[in-house]
Chain A
Amino acid sequence: GAVVSQHPSRVICKSGTSVKIECRSLDFQATTMFWYRQFPKQSLMLMATSNEGSKATYEQGVEKDKFLINHASLTLSTLTVTSAHPEDSSFYICSARGNTDTQYFGPGTRLTVL
């Protein structure tokens, strides 16, 4: 159990376009979902926390207008990178948490902005 999926696994886009990444909890209800980004050889950096039905809470330094998060249901959260630029290229990982503190991670999305 506790499977989290992400889609797409890899995306390449042109600078200035927007990209949407989906995160789904497949076999449990995720009251909270987290979005992270990870640069090569670095640890996970928390971007934002979202609770179902409410606005996401962004970490300091993360632009909420650039990284739009929607957590419309207990099994789905989306991250939209708006007007993407090459510096947004990174590995984006979501995680989902149900009733315990354990977070289960999605497989990640590799974003490359040309």
Chain B
Amino acid sequence: EDKVVQSPLSLVVHEGDTVTLNCSYEVTNFRSLLWYKQEKKAPTFLFMLTSSGIEKKSGRLSSILDKKELFSILNITATQTGDSAIYLCAWGAMKTSYDKVIFGPGTSLSVIP
């Protein structure tokens, strides 16, 4: 059965710290990896990764994928209180006649002043 694991499940850091969030997976027919940030409402898209070793960056956030070792990381540098959220990773898996995306349990990040 396809599975997505995230670690840690929760994390508390101080403003200015750098954090690394982990996502590993066991899925068949991998297509893509997606990272989302969820605050009070629905998730907002951060990154989509399809190729190993190519880092994607957006401001203080960056992410990279390792398809051989089956994991991805999301880095946040110089954290701010506004980074407090649940970070979800999701794997796009192609199965039978339709594609679906499998979400991990999420990492709850709290950034304290």
Cα A42 to Cα B38 with chains together (Å): 12
* Partner among A41, A42, A108 whose Cβ is within 8 Å of the Cβ of B42: A108
Chain A residues with Cβ under 8 A from B67's Cβ? none
Contact B106 A105 (CB under 8 A): no
Prevailing SS type, chain B contact patch: strand
Q: In the complex, which residues 76-113 of chain B have their Cβ closer than 8 Å to any Cβ of chain A?
A: 88, 90, 92, 98-106, 108
Given contacts A44-B43, A49-B98, A106-B42, contact A101 B106 (CB under 8 A): no
- Asked if A99 is at the interface of the complex by the 8 Å CB criterion, the answer is no
Interface residues on A, range: 20 to 34
How many positions in chain B have a CB within 8 Å of any CB in the partner chain?
Answer: 24
Chain B residues with Cβ under 8 A from A51's Cβ? 98
Contact B99 A43 (CB under 8 A): no
Q: Considering the complex of A and B, which 10 residue pairs feature the smallest CB-CB distances, nearest first?
A: A105-B42, A101-B32, A101-B92, A108-B42, A43-B105, A44-B103, A43-B106, A93-B42, A105-B43, A107-B41
